[in-house]
């Protein structure tokens, strides 16, 4: 977007969010943002104020976007899983923006819509009171913890080929399929679904 006449508040916020999403909050300077938009720095100030005001707008927008989660499916089990999948996708898509929300002490507010959606499905499955709260929180911790592990793995140094085989037939207790599976990189999507389904089935004591 480089047409000065087309500049709007929404365009400024979109460009700022993309800079933060791609490079982190440190990349968001008014000069760099103006270069991205093809406008003067003063035009950005006119639309959104200073950098802190702009960051506040991005945080508010992120909180709103994270609240746009709708359960899908025929049963409480399916709908709870759909909320978990949607929440993971949204957390994965905007890590730097999520960090900004956390720094401003708004994480609980950001997570509240997803939490309420899960409470609704826990109630639909027959859970009430402390059991429902525990089940929902356990699922939330699993989702957030899984995303953090994913992010840490992605930032870890590359593993060097040629290392000794860690999964010999002996190490795998004569289970060659297990050895082959461990030799391949894990599929986070499959692991996430498996962990979420297992958690819902065990902690929610569902009837749906």
User: What is the SS3 string spanning the chain?
Assistant: CCCHHHCCHHHHHHHHHHHHHHHCHHHCCHHHHHHHHCCCHHHHHHHHCCHHHHHHHHHHHHHHHHCCCCCCCCCHHHHHHHHHHHHHHHHHHCHHHHHHHHHCCCHHHHHHHHHHHHHHHHHHCCCCHHHHHHHHHHHHHHHHHHHHHHHHHHHCCCCCCCCCCCCCCCCCCCCHHHHHHHHCCCCHHHHHHHHHHHHHHHHCCCCC
- Report whether 92 contacts 68 (CB < 8 A): no
What is the structure's pLDDT at 2? 41
Q: What is the mean pLDDT of the chain?
A: 88
Name the percent of the chain lying above pLDDT 70.
Answer: 92
- Report whether 143 contacts 84 (CB < 8 A): yes
Q: How far apart are CA 54 and CA 62, in angstroms?
A: 12
Is 105 a residue whose pLDDT tops 50? yes
Burial code (b: 16+ CB inside 10 Å, e: under 16) for 145-156 equals ebbeebeeeeee
Report, as an integer, the average pLDDT of 32-40: 89
For the chain, the domains span 4-49, 71-203
Is 162 a residue whose pLDDT tops 70? no
- Report whether 115 contacts 136 (CB < 8 A): yes
What is the structure's pLDDT at 159? 65
Is 205 a residue whose pLDDT tops 70? no
What is the structure's pLDDT at 184? 85
- Structure confidence by residue, pLDDT tens digits, 6-23: 688 889 999 999 999 888
Report, as an integer, the average pLDDT of 37-43: 88
Query: What's the predicted TM-score (pTM) here?
Result: 0.84
Is 160 a residue whose pLDDT tops 70? no
Is 200 a residue whose pLDDT tops 80? yes
CATH superfamily, with its number, for domain 4-49? Homeodomain-like (1.10.10.60)
- Structure confidence by residue, pLDDT tens digits, 107-150: 999 999 999 999 999 999 999 999 999 999 999 999 999 999 99
What is the structure's pLDDT at 3? 42
Is 85 a residue whose pLDDT tops 60? yes
- Structure confidence by residue, pLDDT tens digits, 166-185: 778 788 888 889 888 888 88
């Amino acid at each position: 977007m480089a047409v000065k006449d087309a500049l709007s508040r929404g365009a400024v916020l979109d460009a700022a969010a993309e800079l933060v999403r791609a490079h982190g909050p440190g990349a968001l300077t008014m000069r760099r943002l103006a270069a991205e938009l093809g406008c003067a720095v003063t035009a950005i100030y006119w639309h959104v104020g200073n950098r802190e005001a702009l960051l506040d707008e991005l945080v508010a927008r992120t909180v709103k976007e994270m609240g746009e989660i709708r359960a899908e499916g025929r049963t409480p089990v399916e709908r709870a899983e759909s909320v978990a999948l949607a929440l993971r996708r949204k957390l994965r898509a905007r890590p730097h923006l999520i960090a900004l929300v956390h720094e401003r002490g708004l994480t609980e507010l950001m997570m509240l819509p997803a939490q309420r959606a899960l409470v609704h499905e826990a109630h639909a499955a027959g859970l009430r009171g402390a059991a429902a709260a525990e089940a929902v929180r356990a699922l939330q911790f699993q989702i957030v913890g899984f995303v953090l592990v994913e992010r840490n793995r992605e930032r870890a140094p590359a593993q060097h080929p040629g290392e000794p085989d860690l999964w010999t037939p002996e190490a795998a207790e004569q289970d060659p399929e297990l050895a082959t599976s461990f030799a391949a990189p894990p599929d986070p999507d499959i692991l996430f679904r498996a962990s979420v389904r297992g958690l819902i089935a065990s902690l929610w004591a569902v009837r749906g």
